[in-house]
Structure 1
């Protein structure tokens, strides 16, 4: 089977299922696993480089309102690749080429590829996507193995934090304007031994004010601006140090959102382990990645 992945979390899942040798192209944002970076890319970003978070938000809003995609799909290369399966998503216009555009192009390709959209809104649905991809690629045995390994890790976190006091959390997914993380993130916080004060599981991320963040009185603020790594997240948080400090939170950290939270792929479980370490470091002493203190201190 010849597979084209048009969304990074699908690429990660395909490789996790042992299907990397069948993936013939990915997006310009697919950077995990490292082997994915060696494949041809069939997309490019229409937004100019160097935009600030506020400018990115404004540009995305304008494009969405006008019905324009922020990514361009290389139709000629896609035709040359003759894919049997194209994996994409419909959930977020910021994350991939428009589904309608992909579907329309696919109908015109000589290879008549199947188009599979992965649109999880909850942590459970991200696990369900493993089975969905497995059914489309005849990799059910690998899927069962992956699901079992993911479940064991989730259960280990739940056991580790079950007697720990719940810590209240606000997860910031963007800074200008301030977005509170929704979808699967509130569930990850709960599984990690926390209580999400502002986000709602399965719902879209929402814009809030700094007054709302302060009024929530969180114990912990996790800065996870969508698409950025931990050090970039720390940089994004710096202009808002005063607002963050005013919340009174005793723990304010920046994490790798691109790897562990923004993409609903297998590494969400890594994100769960990282959150559990941030919230309860004596219960979960080690975790993937780092949590960088925003105000002072050393990485957790």
Structure 2
């Protein structure tokens, strides 16, 4: 089988099923596991993440308003790779090349390839997608084993935080404008022993006014900007710390503001989303979980960084 994955989470699913050797092409965002980075990248972002957050948002919305994709797909390379299976998504126009774009590009293939769109909106859907990919690739037994292990880890988190006080949490998915986490993020917060203030499981992330955050008085703030790691997020943390009333938030006063490697553990609906759940349990209830979290996956914002005088 020859697989092209245009979605980082799908690439991680494929590799978790022992199919890395069948992966002949990936997207520009696919970076895990590290050994797949040498595969041909078939997509390219029109708007790059090295721009300021506000400008990224503006340019992406402009592309979408004009009915244009925010990605370029290399049709010539796709034809050369001759895939049997192409994995993409239709959940978010910003996250990866869409099903419609891929379907149009696939028309030039000599042989018909199966195109699968993975669109989970919660943890159950993420696990179901692993089984779906297993079924499509003839590795269903392996997929069931992967899903069983993920269920075990989810159950361990639930058990570890059971009966503990539930801090009130704001999960910030973008800094400018400020988005709060949607889809699976509210569910993750609840399972990890927190009370998610904004958003509902299964519904998209949305813009929230700063005044609403001030009124909510969160006990914990988790910063998880879509597609960004901690180093990139740290560059613009002044967008938060410079806001009026920031230093008066209970989370700031208690030193409970955290930056996360969102790209790896919170934005991608694949196997590592359960690692993200364990990271949240580590944040909300330190010492509750025996599982070790990955290095450089979370960073507590220092008291100096929390000062409102800091700028991006």
Fold similarity call, TM over 0.5: yes
Residue 50 of structure 1: CA displacement? 3.4
- In structure 2, the CA distance between the partners of 1:292 and 1:238, relative to structure 1 (3 Å rule), is farther
Residue 214 of structure 1: CA displacement? 1.1
Q: For residue 221 of structure 1, what is the aligned residue in structure 2? A: 221
Q: For residue 291 of structure 1, what is the aligned residue in structure 2? A: 298
Whole-angstrom distance in 2 between the partners of 1:48 and 1:17 = 31
Q: For residue 182 of structure 2, what is the aligned residue in structure 1? A: 182
Whole-angstrom distance in 2 between the partners of 1:58 and 1:209 = 17
Residue 235 of structure 1: CA displacement? 2.6
- In structure 2, the CA distance between the partners of 1:132 and 1:41, relative to structure 1 (3 Å rule), is same
What TM-score do you get using the length of structure 2 for normalisation? Answer: 0.92
Q: For residue 132 of structure 1, what is the aligned residue in structure 2? A: 132
Would the aligned equivalents of 2:75 and 2:106 in 1 still touch at CA under 8 Å?
no
Residue 294 of structure 1: CA displacement? 2.1
Q: How does 1:33-44 map to 2 (within 5 A)?
A: 33-44=33-44
Of residues 148-157 and 245-254 in structure 1, the stretch that sits farther from structure 2 once superposed is: 245-254
Whole-angstrom distance in 1 between the partners of 2:208 and 2:181 = 11
Q: Which runs of 5+ in 1 are unaligned?
A: none
Q: For residue 107 of structure 1, what is the aligned residue in structure 2? A: 107
Would the aligned equivalents of 1:231 and 1:292 in 2 still touch at CA under 8 Å?
no
1:267 aligns with one of 264, 272, 276: 272
Q: For residue 247 of structure 1, what is the aligned residue in structure 2? A: 249
Q: For residue 90 of structure 2, what is the aligned residue in structure 1? A: 90
DSSP 3-state at the match of 1:38: coil
Residue 66 of structure 1: CA displacement? 1.1
Would the aligned equivalents of 1:183 and 1:203 in 2 still touch at CA under 8 Å?
yes
DSSP 3-state at the match of 1:77: helix
Matched, 1:67 2:47: no
RMSD between aligned alpha carbons?
1.5
Q: For residue 201 of structure 2, what is the aligned residue in structure 1? A: 201
Whole-angstrom distance in 2 between the partners of 1:134 and 1:2 = 14
Residue 143 of structure 1: CA displacement? 0.5
Would the aligned equivalents of 2:4 and 2:23 in 1 still touch at CA under 8 Å?
yes
Whole-angstrom distance in 1 between the partners of 2:145 and 2:54 = 42
DSSP 3-state at the match of 1:253: strand
Residue 297 of structure 1: CA displacement? 8.0
Q: Which runs of 5+ in 2 are unaligned?
A: 306-312
- In structure 2, the CA distance between the partners of 1:48 and 1:134, relative to structure 1 (3 Å rule), is closer
What TM-score do you get using the length of structure 1 for normalisation? Answer: 0.95
- Between the two proteins, the alignment pairs up a number of residues equal to 298
Of residues 240-249 and 274-283 in structure 1, the stretch that sits farther from structure 2 once superposed is: 240-249
Whole-angstrom distance in 2 between the partners of 1:274 and 1:147 = 19
Residue 140 of structure 1: CA displacement? 0.4
